Amino acid sequence: MKHPVTPDGRYFVVRGRLWRLANPALDEAERSALTRELMAGRRAKQQALRRGDAADREAARQRIDAAKQALGERGPVWWDDGAPDFNRHMARNTPYAEWFAALDEHGGTGG
């Protein structure tokens, strides 16, 4: 992965923002099928945007959201230790701040 991953494997960082990773407990076949569904939803959304079709765009958006939730990237967290979700938070404003600052010192933040 080209973006740094938090030590607990829950997030990757892009331009200082945490993004939740997929549930590592998913088996490879399921993860692969869900990823294909996610990409198909993204293509459908792009096509709907080009056509100016708001209804199809919304249907594609829902399809994307469903795939992301099934992957564990959105919705309820996939870990069970009670730790809060910091998805989409700036790393510097989370318990990962010290780890993230150390990455920056070594040129590893990617932005």
Domain spans in the chain, listed from the N-terminal domain onward: 1-21+87-111, 25-72
Q: Tell me the pLDDT tens digit for each residue of 56-104.
A: 999 999 999 999 999 999 999 999 999 999 999 999 999 999 999 998 7
Interatomic CA distance for residues 59 and 65, integer angstroms = 10
Q: How far apart are the first and last CA of the chain?
A: 15
3-state class (DSSP) for residue 87: coil
What's the pLDDT tens digit per position in 14-55?
999 999 999 999 999 999 999 999 999 999 999 999 999 999
